Amino acid sequence: MYDNQSVTSTRGRESVLATNKVLRNTYMLLSLTLLFSGLTAYIGMRSGIYLGVLPTLLIYFGLLFATEKTADSSLGLIFVFALTGFLGFTLGPILSFYLHTPQGAQMVMTALGGTGVIFLGLSGYALTTRKDFSFLGGMLVTGILIAFLAGLGAFIFNMPGLSLAVSAMFILLMSGLILFQTSQIVHGGETNYIRATVTLYVAIYNLFLSLLRILSAFSGR
């Protein structure tokens, strides 16, 4: 009896240690990739290079696929920096556009601060309550696909109203994704910190862009 309890307790402790390690590595890598993409965003702003929607999407999906396939090896780290660096670079022209509008700097800073508050608040909520949000998985996959396709539709058919609705949808979906991914790490559903970092990074990136789009639309500028 004592031995069984001891084994269970040791396994439990190992599991908690493994979860903490994934969590620590994820937040460490996420911080580094955010800093790196800040640098590439600055380079993107200075260079003034705009790739266009189609090349951006093709490179993004290519790098996402490569990161996913190499996430179990050290090569995954190179691809995660390539992906986040590229996404940061694509932010350059967007930020440049907003910064050249009246009070654009204030709007960018508000969106940046808002993204930080939402991310920290939701992560803190999932970490402290330790609620299991795995039931959100199906809704998130379907919702993100629908929102993404609606976003493409808004681009193809020049529908700014739909684009704004997609931004609002993305804020809710990315908030759900942060809760889902953090709870997956806490409950041992995600043991790969590279995959966890990519998911959280993409959520933060989309949250920031959607917030910026909404703030810009409602500010009347």
Query: Which of these segments, 6-14, 33-41, 72-80, 171-179, binds another protein (CB under 8 A)?
Result: 171-179
Residue type (1 letter), 101: T
Selected from 145, 160, 188, 191, the binder of another protein by CB under 8 A is: 145
Determine if 220 is a binding residue for another protein (CB under 8 A): yes
Selected from 23, 194, 196, 211, the binder of another protein by CB under 8 A is: 211
Selected from 70, 163, 175, 192, the binder of another protein by CB under 8 A is: 175
Determine if 99 is a binding residue for another protein (CB under 8 A): no
Determine if 102 is a binding residue for another protein (CB under 8 A): no
Angle at 201 between CA 196 and CA 207, to 5 degrees: 130
Could you tell me the CA-to-CA distances from 129 to 28, 124, 138 in Å, in that order? 22, 8, 22
**By C-beta, is 9 or 129 nearer to another protein?**
129
CA 123/CA 179 separation, integer angstroms: 6
Query: Which of these segments, 30-38, 72-80, 87-95, 127-135, binds another protein (CB under 8 A)?
Result: 127-135
Determine if 49 is a binding residue for another protein (CB under 8 A): no
Q: How far is the CB of 186 from another protein (least distance, A)?
A: 14
Determine if 198 is a binding residue for another protein (CB under 8 A): no
Query: Which of these segments, 31-39, 40-48, 69-77, 151-159, binds another protein (CB under 8 A)?
Result: 151-159
Q: Locate tokens 């949000």: which residue?
A: 133
* 110 CB-near residues (< 8 Å, 6+ apart): 215
Selected from 6, 117, 120, 160, the binder of another protein by CB under 8 A is: 117
Burial of 50 (0-12, 13-18, 19+ CB in 10 A): middle
Determine if 153 is a binding residue for another protein (CB under 8 A): yes
* 45 CB-near residues (< 8 Å, 6+ apart): 92, 93, 95, 96, 99
* 191 CB-near residues (< 8 Å, 6+ apart): 18, 22
Inter-axis angle of helices 75-99 and 2-47, to 10 degrees?
A: 40
Q: How far is the CB of 144 from another protein (least distance, A)?
A: 8
37 in Cβ contact with 88 (< 8 Å): yes
Binding site for another protein (CB under 8 A): 52-54, 57-58, 103, 106-107, 110-111, 114, 117-118, 121-122, 125, 129, 131-139, 141-142, 145, 148-149, 152-153, 155-156, 171-172, 175-176, 179, 211, 214-215, 218-220
